[in-house]
Structure formats: structure tokens, C-alpha cells
Chains A and B, each alone.
Chain A
């Protein structure tokens, strides 16, 4: 596998948030889930960053509305010029600022406090919609090719049933984040699937066996499953 190719395939996320601890929280989670991040703490610095030439490529920006210097809404113009899709983060949950943000061209809007999984799912949706989704995910020696829907382990193709593949992609695209059985059931089999959570356990068992992921897909007590892969 070419490393270059993989890095390019990894989306870099710009986090513009003035509260240091929240900024770090977001970055911490995104990095655990397999994204790379760049954090900027105020509006003016963000503007300068966006205008600089030859800067690194950004797949998505998470922007706090209330920023010192230039505020989140005013940054929209620069972000659009740089062709970066925007998700606004804010403590304000009033409809007017929501509408304002979306009208200005934001892709989505998340109100603090938010759950890690919710943030990841929304980001993933936006990345997919704007054609910036990752094409490959690597977990140890397993490479998932999202374009060709194929999985290789150590270079050799592993054959997975469709539901097993979907489950692997879901877990791997939010690496290190725990999913509950209900969540997995909902996202992969759909809300109206009448199956039991046992179905999830059976498919997890298959994945572990086929990919030798016994220590990678961990059972988290009281929660569900987590695909663990720290760099």
C-alpha cells in the first residue's frame, strides 16, 4: 500500500473554536476517530489561515459562531472562497441563528453540548455529500476500499457478506468510538428492521473471525462495541 495515497485519503478537519478545552475535546475525538485536525482559536487567525496561499488542504470546517475577532458567520465568505464545507457549533440553540447559519451556506448546525457520535455522524454525512469522504480506511493490516467495497487483509482479499461489510465500515469510520447494539442495528439494518440485538453480536463474531479482529473489535460492557486502533 502506498502511504501517500492513504494520507491524501485522510480528511483534515479545521476546528475554529475559542474555548480551549472544547477545542481540545473536539480534536481529541476526531483524532481518535481517524481524522487529522488543525485547531484555530479566534476569528482573525482563522481568516489569516484561510487566505494564506499554499496551505494544507482542509476537508471540512467546524466553526463556533461566537468567536473573538471575526465571528463565525462573518468567516463564511472566506470559507466558501476556499471551498470548505462548514458545520457550525454553538451554544445558541435559538432558531434564528440556526436559520441564519444555514442560509449563509452552512452544511449543518450542531448545538453544544453534543455527543461525540452525533458530531462524527454529521461530519461523515457532510463529507459524503460534498464528495470529500475518505476512500480508504486502514485498521492495522486491514484496508477497506470504500470505492470498490472491498476489504483486504495483508494484501489478501477477504470476502465479507454485505451486512458484515457495512458493520465493518461503520465501526472503522468512527474508530475508537463505542457504538451501542441498538445504534448499529439502526444504522445498518435500518430503523424498521425487526431483528434482535443478537443479530449484531452474530455479525461481530463473524468479523472477528474473518479478520482476526478478536482484540481489535472490543466489547464495551453496558455499551456495545468499539473498533480500537490507536496510532
Chain B
């Protein structure tokens, strides 16, 4: 059952029950009151009539009269006081009864008191009020006066009242049911919107927000819901961006693997199946060896890149930059001599908190790149001043529109040239990753034909 229906039904039920109970109570009260009033008025009547009758019958006025005369006198007296209501009892014997009722037990002691005694009798749907009292001081004869009154009308009135109030309660309930349904539905409508939004979001529409602006708890909940949705959308977008990057990287990796693989498979297949001259066989073997070395370089670079992604074994320590530079330069000496390139370096940085091995590999990568870009006899400079390290060459440079992309894994500006120099497109990706781990940025400035400078701002 829907919440708005539940709320409506509960409200309507309680409301109707309350109305019914209070209605019943009011009716009961008014009935009691009416009864009391009727009884009281009967009592008054009885009292005054009894007093009047006693005056008429006092002083033994009837003594000595014959039965018939006596009877006529009594009937005459009673007629004076609305005889159709009263019964007169003399010494437990009914002497005058002009009411339509028959008194069953005239000896009843209830009516012998000086106070009025009343009771209501139900005789086959007819309600009768019977009150009686002793007629005061009528000599030695005991008279009792009994008032018999049909009060069925009173009950009829009450029945009518009950009937009317039932109709009233019922119609009021119907109207209130209508309004309560309408209002609760209206109040709870934002919940439906919230549910719809949640359903659509879980269905994949991450842009969907709950359009609820009420100032109640539902509005607050919708606000919380929307900020949750914002967060989810952000995270999903971020995740898909990461996975897209990974996918691209995997694509490049596959391509990078496929080229040497094609060579290796081709040459080994040729060696196995094709009759080659001795020198061709040697060429084939040399190619296989060379391509395997390329794969090995690729995998070790990849391993270090992966290591940087996942590893937390980065060990920061105070390192003398002067010593680090000297170390790097001595490692590059062989390369430099081979291409007859001069490396100038200066350092005035003192010590810095860095990971020694990673930083060394960062500098070596940058210098290797500079060597690859440079012609024979060129000069490369490695400068460390304040918080900035710069590697500058006078080599071939990078086209302006490609500078942004050179730090992407597997991106190569000139594939043929890069391959020939043994590159695999991971060097700068590795460098920028290491720089990031040190909280630094890799700034690359370059002009085609003039050279490149890479700056690390610690």
C-alpha cells in the first residue's frame, strides 16, 4: 500500500472513530438530561397534584358518604387535576384510574413514602414514566397518587438525533476522506519524484537530480540525495576517465608489443621453415636478439612506471644535490663520449628531501632525451639553482602542438627516429610521474630546430 493511502486511511479512521464516539457521548448525555428533566417535571406535577388532592380530601370529608357518592366525589376531584395522567389508590385499592393503563400492583410499597419514587418502564416499545407518592395527611385513610406518563416521544427524538448525527458523521467523513487523500498525496508527491530520480540514476542516467524544493524533511532529504548524486557522478566520471586513460595506454602498449613481436615471430618462423644463406641466418638471429632487447627495455620501463603507480616504498631522504648531479654525470659519461657531446653542469641547491634513486632516474632520462635530440658535438646543460632544475639541449626540438602530449605513455614525436635510438615512448611519462611524486611539475619548453629545455620546479 502506498504511503499516502496508508496515511489517509489511518487519519480517516481515527477521525471517524473520534467523531462517532464523541457524537455518541453527546447523545447519551442529552438523553440522560432529557430523562431527568421529564422525571423532574413529572415529580413537580405529582407533588403539586398530591398537595391539591390532599386538600380536597382532608378533614374526613368523605366520612359517612355512601360508596357511590364517595366514588363520584373522588372522580370529580381527580378530573380537576388532569385525571388522564393520575391513578389514585386508597388503602392499596385503586379508587380512580382514568389513564389508559392498568396498575398491576396497587399494594406496591414504593409509593407509600412522602418522597416521589420514579421509574421508567418499557412495555413493548412504549416507554412509560411511573412516579408515585403518598398523599399527605388525609386522615386515617391512606391515599397514594401515581403519575403514569407515556414518554416514548422522548426516545423517538433521541433516535432521530442518532440518525441525523450518523448521516452527518458519514457525509463529513466522506468529504474529509476526499480532502485528506488529496492533501496527503500532494504532500507526499515529492517522495514520488525522489523515487523516480533514484530509479533513473540507478538506471544509468547520472545527470538526473530530484526536482524537489519543499522546505520540509522531504526537501532536506532531496537536497542530501542530490548532493549524493553529485558525488557519485563525479566519481563515476573520474573512474571512467581513469579507465579510458588505462585503455588508451593498453592500446599503445599492445601496439608497442606487436611491432617487435611481428619481427621476432617472423624471423624465428623464417629460421624454422625457410632455407636461408648463412649470412641471412645470422641477420635473422641478430634481429631477434635486437627486438627481444627492445621488449626487455620496454618491460623494465613499464615495471618502474607501474611501481610508481602502486608502490609506497618511496623513500624520501635528505640528499646533497651536488653529489647527485656528479653521480648522474658520471653515469652518462659513456653515452656523452660516444656522441661527442659536452655536458655542462652547475649546482647551488644544497640538500633537498627526495627519493635518491627515483630522482637519479629522472635526471638520467632527461639527459638521455637531450643526447638523443642532439647532434654530435653539441652542448647540453644541467643547472640546479634555488628550487629549479633545468636540462637544456640545442637539439631538434619538439613541435609546439605536440609538447602537451609528450608526457603521455607511448607517445613519440618521431617514431622512426625514436625507435632507432632505442626509445619506447615511456621516458617522459616516467619523468613526469616521478616529478609528481616529489610534488613538482615538469615544464617543457621547446622550439623546433633550436632545442628543448625541461624544468623541474621543486
Residue positions of A touching B, CB distance < 8 A = 18-19, 21-22, 24-26, 28-29, 32-33, 41-42, 68, 91, 112-117, 175-178, 218, 220, 223, 226, 228, 230
Contacts and interface: CB of A to CB of B under 8 A. Distances in A.
Given A29-B274, A117-B273, A178-B273, A68 B415 contact: yes
B263 A19 contact: yes
Contacts of A19: 259, 262-263, 419
A91 B283 CA distance: 23
B80 interface: no
B265 interface: yes
B276 A32 contact: yes
Contacts of B272: 178, 223
A28 B278 CA distance: 12
Contacts of B275: 32, 175-177, 218, 226, 228, 230
A91 B259 contact: yes
B263 A21 contact: yes
Given A116-B273, A177-B273, A223-B272, A25 B258 contact: no
A220 B271 CA distance: 12
Contact of A91 (B255, B265, B290): B255
B280 interface: yes
B263 A68 contact: no
B255 A24 contact: no
Q: Could you tell me the dominant secondary structure of chain B's interface residues? A: helix
Contacts, number: 86
13 contacts: A19-B259, A19-B419, A21-B290, A28-B283, A32-B274, A42-B416, A91-B255, A113-B265, A113-B266, A116-B274, A176-B276, A177-B273, A226-B273
A41 B284 CA distance: 19
Please list the 6 inter-chain residue pairs (A to B) with the smallest Cβ-Cβ separation, ordered nearest first: A176-B275, A113-B262, A178-B273, A112-B262, A25-B266, A228-B275
Contacts of B266: 22, 25-26, 29, 113-114, 116
A68 B277 contact: no
Given A28-B270, A29-B270, A91 B258 contact: yes
Interface string B250-290: 00000100110111011101101111110010011001001
A113 B264 CA distance: 9
A42 B291 CA distance: 21
Given A28-B280, A91-B255, A113-B265, A21 B274 contact: no
B261 to A, nearest CB: 6
Contacts of B258: 91, 112-113
A34 B258 CA distance: 28
Nearest to A226: B275
Contacts of A32: 270, 274-276, 280
Contacts of B259: 19, 22, 91, 112
B273 A21 contact: no
B291 A68 contact: no
A28 B263 CA distance: 12
A221 B414 CA distance: 44
Given A22-B262, A113-B265, A176-B275, 13 more contacts: A21-B267, A25-B270, A28-B283, A29-B270, A32-B275, A32-B276, A42-B416, A116-B266, A116-B270, A176-B276, A177-B274, A218-B275, A230-B277
